[in-house]
Amino acid sequence: MAQLATPLTSQDVAYYRENGYLLYHHQLFSEEKFARLQAIFEEHLAQKGSKLSDELDTPHFRDPRLLDFLLSDEVLDLVEPIIGPDIFLWSSHFICKDPYTGRPTPWHEDSAYWEGRVNHYEKIITVWLALDRSNDENGCMRVIPGSHNNGFSEYEKVDAATNTFGSQIKNLDDSRAVSFVLEPGECSLHDSRIMHGANANTSQYRRCGYTMRYMSADTRIIPERNANHKLWLARGKDRSGNSYVND
């Protein structure tokens, strides 16, 4: 069992700013609360219909129980030291790589897929919570440290049927890649601009996580590029005139 949650130190924040990521080897939620989240995920997985296990995007739009986790102090207390006290919830995503068949995630920057949807990308953070053990064997996330200073690389097409999406960063050197090895209940934090990806899951072990994404509330959402997208003001004050579900 990992250590219980502790606040980020100034050294943790400095490491994140330099490298674009941080591994948090503590239990984010209590044992009981984490078990509730796992049970909710299993419900979504059982009800996914024709969707693949890695396609359960924005489940909190449909299931308000997830807001107990997404708007919790446990998560926001990790996010605030990095992006500041004014925070809105941008999105969440259950990502599950099934044993033997879990598709690879091509190298990418999240920011590249959100280009034109927001007015800046400097204070966008993803908390990736491990619902299962995550390691190299079952296709854990990998990042290129320090690659978060651009966010808009050149891309090329890949087969969308055999990958989680249809493009990848061109000519990427992954020799410096760091693997996000996490135990269930631990999490990682990463900048939206960092280069990251994951290999296929060719093991017998499932690899599932819950991504929780936040932006500083001084980020302006472009309404015409975000039709039907829902925002929650998670903490603090809005600084850019956005509209929120909980206004």
Following DSSP, what letter does each residue of 29-48 receive, concatenated?
A: S-HHHHHHHHHHHHHHHHT-
Q: Which of 222, 151, 143 is nearest to 192 (CA)?
A: 151
The helix (H) or strand (E) run that includes residue 81 is helix 73-83
* Model pLDDT, residue 1: 46
Q: Is the pTM of this model over 0.85?
A: yes
Burial class, 20, CB count within 10 angstroms (exposed 0-12 / middle 13-18 / buried 19+): buried
* Model pLDDT, residue 55: 72
- Full set of structural domains in the chain with CATH: 19-235 (2.60.120.620)
Interacting residues of 222 by C-beta distance below 8 A, sequence separation 6+: 116, 117, 118, 119
* Model pLDDT, residue 56: 85
> What region, left, alpha or beta, does residue 126 occupy, with left being phi > 0 and alpha being psi -120 to 50 degrees?
beta
* Model pLDDT, residue 26: 96
Consecutive 10-residue runs of the chain (247 residues): their mean pLDDT? 75 98 97 97 89 83 97 98 98 93 93 95 97 97 96 94 92 96 98 96 96 98 96 97 93
